[in-house]
A and B are shown apart, each in its own frame.
Chain A
Amino acid sequence: MPTVAADPGPFTFDLDSTALIVIDMQRDFLLPGGFGESLGNDVAQLRRTIAPLAALLAAWRAAGLPVIHTREGHLPDLSDCPPAKLKRGSMIGQPGTFGKILIRGEYGHDIVDELQPLPGEPVVDKPGKGAFYATNLDELLRETKTLIVTGVTTEVCVHTTVREANDRGYECLVLSDCVGSYFPEFQSVGLRMIAAQGGIFGWVSESSALLKEITR
């Protein structure tokens, strides 16, 4: 079984029960001129994940391993958006550069060109930060024990999903160069929290270490 160097210790897993999850690599969060940038965020902090993630995706697909994508978003009538979320994020559903912000079916809600899902790859649409709540992700993972976790943002949707997965007994390996935060401070502390106390939520490594194992 492959083993990769990781924090807090070597991480061993079985490729037959491992899936790659790519969280919320959506245009609304990543494209210059989009929703994320309009909030004053530096999208370059997220965009640096695209190249390593595209390389990993290519190798992962070439090895015939499963990929799951997620998107955060809401129905056009906002009936799945809690009032407390809508009030705080009052731009949700409003017209933006790439269509109505965070609304399913809009251009900005979809995944960036470089990481577009292939036919047959599941795309989980989620109304919250966590990918397990109010979705069928747990059902999709019936054969899965290990999750390779990538996407954005590290301390919000990636962290929430890793916490949910960990409580459900999945082992999570988070790839530091394939997850991103608008805030460098939260990128580092977010990764540190995952590996703290003996790996309380999982393990942290880099895509280069994993690539070596799957391209053997």
Chain B
Amino acid sequence: MATELLTTGRRITKRPSGLNRKKTSDWVVLAVAIVLGFFIAVPFLMILVNSFKSPEDYATSGPLSLPTEFYTDGLTAFWERVNFPEKLWNSIYISGLVAVFAVVISMFNAFALGIGRVKGRSWIVVLILLANMLPQEVLLYPLYFMFKQVGLYDNQWAVIIIFTVIQSAFGTYLLASVYGTFPKGLLEAASLDGASRWRILWTVVFPISRPTLSVLLIFFFIWTWNEFLIPLTFLISNATQTVPVAITVLQGDRLMDVTTTSASALLGLIPTLIFFLIFQRTLTRGITAGAVK
């Protein structure tokens, strides 16, 4: 299983077409899969449709009809109200740094646990996973006092540090088990060539596990982007807020009519959607994949 298990699979499309005869049952399965996809997508279609409706249009024809005119005031109103480019940059900055830091920390941890096999590694994994197990409310009071002490309250670095720890817990858990099955021959060969462990990490382990690391990077970015409670608590001033926080803060506002709300949801969604579409190929390459061709 050694290399087979780790080989990145071939593309689905490159298949011998010998068995390509489609039976009726195949069409039924496809139909079921498409209908399911449609139901999953309904809420997204609703956001899209209602973002371009005027409030009057919405009031007369309800949430399900198509807009009668192309109305973009809701979008521009929200864009200007929250200074959207600023919020967008905040979110990209925080999520991007967290994703990179968390992947590096996960890799270091997993290198020691999966390849180095330090003593008591099961317990270290459990200890690290604590970051994932703790309900986040637990962190609010203590971290509030601690960050206030060091002057990082209402500073984006507070949020970046917190989520680097939380995300790298998942990364360590996953990566340590992936590195546990790392092709040993490669490590031995590099070691015979006289490479130090630091060099082996960067010249052998890092490039070979890059598919898995990219999957983690994408997950971390999206997960951090979508976080709410901790950014809401630690980023109180307008200029530091993230996109989801800005949207939520405006919810109770009486100037936010239904279609502006929908427009805000659309704007909140588009960046992660674009990010996902760009990188969705990477996801196919596999979470435990990464190896010798």
Q: Do A and B bind each other?
A: no
